[in-house]
Structure 1
């Protein structure tokens, strides 16, 4: 495993990943479209594999599932960095664009594809999931 690092736009928040992603995907849900005016490229890691330095601001919203979704931002520059769900506390979502080496990640699926705008460029080589995919299965080592 190669450690990955990243930071927000202004550098006030930095982070380190100490595990390989459990999933990498492009999300087309309406919330991600509001955040990025497009789909967002995300990776999913075990919660304990994400080390954060700096102060975060939270925005909490109840999802259609009833789960509490917490999105975390840099309070200085507003960069959206992370998300977590009360329904899956063992995982953290990391926005790939904030990695120091974003090309070290290759998305494997488009999720919430049913919400993508008609002009969205969805790579047909990637798995297509119309809404929320099932959570990844834990590896035998976990």
Structure 2
């Protein structure tokens, strides 16, 4: 098992992950595109393995899937760090770009591919799922 760490842009929020990710995916849902102006690479981790230091703000909304989403971000710099879905209790989605070493994980699929813009570069070597995939298996 590899321990991973990350932080927001200004460093006010830092985190440690002491478990392997349950899934790593490139998400092309419209919400992720609005957050990043592109698809986002996200890693699902068990809540028990994520340790956060610092104060977070949050935004609650209903996703296209119908799930309630709680997106958490740094109130100082606005960096999007984490999200949680009512449809997937027990784990947190971490934005891979906030890891200190984002190359320590590799995506295995593109999700919400039907929402990707026509110019998007979806890696054909990755599994393609048009909408929301099944939740990752708990470990």
Q: Same fold (TM over 0.5)?
A: yes
Deviation per CA, 1:65-106, whole angstroms, max 9, x where unpaired? 432100000000000000001221211000000000001010
What is aligned with 1:104? 104
Please give the TM-score of this superposition, normalised by the length of structure 2: 0.97
Please give the TM-score of this superposition, normalised by the length of structure 1: 0.95
Alignment of 1:110-129 (within 5 A): 110-129=110-129
**Higher mean Cα deviation, 43-52 or 130-139?**
130-139
Answer yes or no: is the 8 Å Cα contact 2:65–2:132 preserved in 1: no
How far the C-alpha of 1:64 sits from its partner, in A, is: 3.2
What is aligned with 1:93? 93
Task: Please list every run of 5 or more consecutive structure 2 residues that lacks an aligned counterpart in the other structure.
Answer: none
Does residue 78 (structure 1) correspond to residue 78 (structure 2)? The answer is yes
Deviation per CA, 1:22-53, whole angstroms, max 9, x where unpaired? 10000000000000000000000111111000
What is aligned with 1:45? 45
Deviation per CA, 1:8-32, whole angstroms, max 9, x where unpaired? 0000000000110010000000000
Does residue 26 (structure 1) correspond to residue 18 (structure 2)? The answer is no
Aligned residue-pair number? 139
What is aligned with 1:59? 59
Aligned equivalents of 2:99, 2:138: Cα separation in 1: 24
Task: Please list every run of 5 or more consecutive structure 1 residues that lacks an aligned counterpart in the other structure.
Answer: none
Deviation per CA, 1:81-137, whole angstroms, max 9, x where unpaired? 000012212110000000000010101000000000000000000000000000112
Aligned equivalents of 1:84, 1:28: Cα separation in 2: 17
